[in-house]
Structures are given as C-alpha cells and as structure tokens.
Chain A
Amino acid sequence: MNNKPLIAAGNVMGVGMGGFADGILFHQILQLHSMLSAKLPQDTIVNIKTSMVWDGLFHALTWITTAISISLLWEVARQKNVPWSGRIFFGSGLMGWGIFNLVEGIIDHYILGIHHVVERFGLSIYDHMFLASGVLFIAIGLITIRSEKSHLQHIYP
C-alpha cells in the first residue's frame, strides 16, 4: 500500500485551508492584519484598498492551492493501491495547516516583517503563538498519520 499520494493531497489541502483560515479570520473578519499591513499602515483608504489587492492575490493563491489538492485527491481516488483512510487524510491536512502557519509565520512575520498577527502590537506574543500552533498542528498530524499507518500495516501486511 502506498500512502504518499493521500498524504500529499491532504497536505496541500491543509495548506489551502490554513491559508483561508488566516485570510478570512485574521485579514477580513477580525481585520488584525493584512498582507502588507506593516508596510502600508491601514489608516487611509488608498493604503487599505492597495492592501486589499495584495490580500486578493494571497486568496487567489490559496484558492489555486486548494484546487490542486482536490485534483490530487481525485487522482488518489482512482488509484487502487492507495488506502482511502480518513485518518491519514485528516492528519495530513492538519500537518499542511501547521506547515502553512510555520512557513508563513517565519517568512512573513519574522524574516520579512511585512505583517504581524496583531499589527498594532508589531512582533508580539501572538506571532510566537501562531508559530507554536504550526509546530503543534504538524506534531498532531504526524502522530495521527503514523498511528494510522501502523494500524493499516496490521490490516494489509
């Protein structure tokens, strides 16, 4: 049995869903930051509208990522040697979400400093928590995948 295609599909979907969670919750509903909020202070209509375009590009990339994951999942469904395991898919998704939080957090919040979780605080405890959530999600995802893999090895030795 080959789990890798399912893990890849779940992983990419997790990145997409993590991106949407960030974009919808933090950028739009709570409006804590936007893509370039450290560069463009959100205090004029020109800056807000310009940020909205970059947020739109971010959401477009997130949409493309999710679409790719659907096509990968479609391919998985056609392969007979890939186990159709909900737990592996869930674990991979959680791992993908964690990868999103970790990579996006390190690059955008820490290295480039283009935005922070709560922009008015700058680099704060919330950025550390965002990064920690990424590590936690990856760990839970990996544990879920590994436990299911060993379970499947008993069924399909």
Chain B
Amino acid sequence: MKVFVLCLLFLLISTISAACPFCKSETATQIRRLLFGHDFFLNLFITLLPFAIFFLITIFIYNDGWQKKVSINNNK
C-alpha cells in the first residue's frame, strides 16, 4: 500500500516531457536539431522520390506510352 501511494505521488508530481517538434523544451530542441540536421534535404528527397515516380508512371499509362511508340514504328 505504501509503495502504491508513493508511486501515485510520483505520477502526480511528474512533469510533461513536452516532446513535440515545436515545443519549448530540451527534448524538443533535440528533435529540431535531428529533424533539420545536415541530411534534412536528403530525407525530404527520399520521402518525395516514390511519389514523383508514381505520378510519372500514371502519366505514362495515361499517354499509352508503349502503344504510341509501337504505332510510330509501324507507321515508319
């Protein structure tokens, strides 16, 4: 019982870690440092890259890429 009350007391007095990226705390500063570090643009590029390819594939399908080339060759 004594331990339980003690734990409850610790829970009550514990502070919020405030770890959101734009909070004002030491943890938040560390997150910002890691987020906007030297590899920020590399990570951004990595995240964007598959989506650029998805759209290129969709445009390719929409324009009937293969069939157009085949018909051009056939016309020649």
Contact = CB atoms under 8 A, between A and B. Distances in A.
Interface of A: 4-5, 7-8, 11-12, 15, 35-36, 39-40, 45-47, 49-50, 53-54, 57-58, 61, 65, 96, 99-100, 103-104, 107-108, 112, 114
A49 B47 contact: no
Nearest to B33: A46
A107 B53 contact: yes
13 contacts: A4-B61, A5-B62, A8-B58, A11-B57, A12-B55, A45-B17, A46-B34, A49-B31, A54-B47, A96-B54, A99-B54, A103-B54, A114-B46
Interface residues of B, number: 25
Interface of B: 17, 19-21, 27, 30-31, 34-35, 43-44, 46-51, 53-55, 57-58, 61-62, 64
Decide if the interface of chain A is mainly helix, strand, loop or mixed: helix
B23 to A, nearest CB: 10
A104 B34 contact: no
